[in-house]
Structure 1
């Protein structure tokens, strides 16, 4: 099957749709990086607030993972293709991995908060690209994703206070 068979019809110009897809694929890569880092911290958190942080990280990871499908489907709806592999994610990610053997709970909270704040910046940039392209659907749904990331950053900030 030729690649053109995957081209979903859209009223967006091919250049505009390509710009939106590029921005969304960057977001998608960062969502996967943030998901895996959040699960890593969920699996490896320790200390007196173990239960609270373990549950917080799991809840946030589930929300992040649920968003990945929505982002990928927006890419397809614009007539483009999305990420296909871990290698593809690595080529598009802007957030960094954390392979450290031990991370303190406070450092976990701070790092995840900072990653969510960087994701918010990328979401705002993608929203601008969608607006320029006249892609109202992507422009609108990014507001929900931004609100979710802001809430995650807020919870992580508050959980890290005083520890």
Structure 2
């Protein structure tokens, strides 16, 4: 988890150094098995949300100026949304990456709650009909989707403003390269 967040924040800082706390290191505690740490540059944060214009500008920069290292969708290691591992396996199409992520979440749901015929039936329809109908046209007839760096866990609890500069700061990232509009799918 800490390794994933370290690399997520590192990627964000490469594109926009002031938009996220710069990661310093991550590791495991020597004296306590199962305990890990992540050390980031300190930002004194002020309460409330950042300026909408500044926040939008920084996200637009992140999405426009980032580029996937292999022109594919995914990330080079597993990141976590809360305590849930994200399927970041590299794929060539946005539809495939998105579908893999949904399948992974559905598998975690079944593992936690047991099998559900209703959920399995709805999942087949979602992934067999809905997702292809909505996403496949984005990458056909000469159209492409540029894999952009996404924060991956964007919500009001993971954004703030730096007290000294007033600039927006994001943290607790589970980054991946995906369709830039997906950043706001689950916001």
Does the alignment reach a TM-score above 0.5? Answer: no
- The structure number with the bigger radius of gyration is 2
TM-score for both structures, normalised by structure 1: 0.26
Of Structure 1 and Structure 2, the greater strand share is in: 2
Of Structure 1 and Structure 2, the greater helix share is in: 1
